[in-house]
Amino acid sequence: MDAATPAAAQFELNGDQRAIQEMTAAFAAEKVAPYALEWDKERHFPSDVIRETGALGFGGIYIGDDVGGSGLGRLDAVLIFEALAAACPGFSSMISIHNMAAWMIDTFGSEEQRQRFLPAMTSLEWLASYCLTEPGSGSDAAALKTRAVRAGGNGSDYTLNGTKQFISGAGDSDVYVVMARTGDDGPKGVSTFVVPKDAPGLKFGPAENKMGWHMQPTRQVIFEDCKVPAENLLSGEGAGFRIAMAGLDGGRLNIAACSLGGAQSALDKALSYAGERVAFGKAINQFQALQFKLADMEIELQASRIMLYTAASKLDRKAHDAGKWSAMAKRFVTDTCFDIANDALQIHGGYGYLHEYGVEKLVRDLRVHQILEGTNEIMRLIVARHLIGR
């Protein structure tokens, strides 16, 4: 993590935060990096290794310690996801999604719900997925169609019908935090439910054949008269859209951190290759054109790191402009870091296109970060509204 030093100095990371970086990097180097290409090639979901991170506190990074969480801040979380993503962005992003789902229960659930769900989630005995996007509603999240209707004696249950699209971990996760419509069209009619995997009527589509993130399954989550106890509703009817939007600020920082870690790995690979590859009688890193390219990659990487750490610090402090900074960091970091990974592939020439060098995997994995947690076009819209509203 030497490349993190400038940002570390800027934000005066304390001893505990440096220890978090070192612990995470050591775990990733031993348990993730040696197997990432194989997982990608075989489309293998290493749920056993993901669950191992529960012992490190990664199942509830910013969850209360009374339910087994680590009680850390958003900057701490960014350091963890960045270090994990240097080994495999898809691995890191799955843990990020789990943490976002757990945070929603921790923040908006009743004390009974927190005690019922979170201890098994923070230990990663239970893995969680988040279900917002639908086949016809992505960026327009308030237009979702999945519906929940009161059923059972005295309204003791809800019946859910509908389909969620692009759900990471679907079919393998144990818990699903689901946004469903309980009222009229629009944001005020959306509610949030915690749905266990064994809920009657919960089904899953086939695994999607994706460009990247091959190591984690992505499927539709299908509700066909799915029965969910009313006690699994978070914060009452109509609170769902507010819960979803509140979770996205942190989720955007997390996915930006996954891009940052992947881009750092890509730059490291490019530096190593450029020092070894000989052309026209000398190592290619001796050519000024390539030196300028490497310098620009480093400048852009450090700018991304500083912007992301700034945004995370603002969210920790609950600064009034934290939402704007989360959107800015997500847009800037995911776009910039994808470009860095793509430049690293170009530096490798034809070898960059081969799976065994690991660079093309990083390009494929980082591309989706520009889409999820709100597309980067939506990030621009959020920033513009902050500016105009000001």
Give the tens place of pLDDT for each residue, 108-136. Answer: 999 999 999 999 999 999 999 999 999 98
Q: What is the model's pLDDT at position 153?
A: 65
Domains belonging to the chain, first-starting first, are 2-122 (1.10.540.10), 128-237 (2.40.110.10), 242-389 (1.20.140.10)
Residues of the chain where predicted confidence (pLDDT) is lower than 70: 1-11, 152-153, 390
Q: What is the model's pLDDT at position 155?
A: 75
Taking the C-alpha atoms of residue 143 and residue 161, their distance in angstroms, rounded to an integer, is: 15
- Residue 80 Cα to chain centre, angstroms: 12
pTM of the model: 0.93
Q: Which residue in the list 237, 300, 360, 373 is annotated as catalytic? A: 373
Q: How many CA atoms lie within 13 A of 295 on its CB side?
A: 7
Question: Can you give the chain as a three-state secondary structure string?
Answer: CHHHHHHHHHHCCCHHHHHHHHHHHHHHHHHHHHHHHHHHHHCCCCHHHHHHHHHHCCCCCCCCHHHCCCCCCHHHHHHHHHHHHCCCHHHHHHHHHHHHHHHHHHHHCCHHHHHHHHHHHHCCCCCEEEECCECCECCCHHHCCCEEEEECHHHCEEEEEEEEEEEECCCCCCEEEEEEECCCCCHHHEEEEEEECCCCCEEECCCCCCCCCCCCCEEEEEEEEEEEEHHHEECCCCCHHHHHHHHHHHHHHHHHHHHHHHHHHHHHHHHHHHHHCEECCEEHHHCHHHHHHHHHHHHHHHHHHHHHHHHHHHHHHCCCCHHHHHHHHHHHHHHHHHHHHHHHHHHCHHHHHCHHHCHHHHHHHHHHHHCCCCCHHHHHHHHHHHHHHC
Q: Is 360 a catalytic residue?
A: no
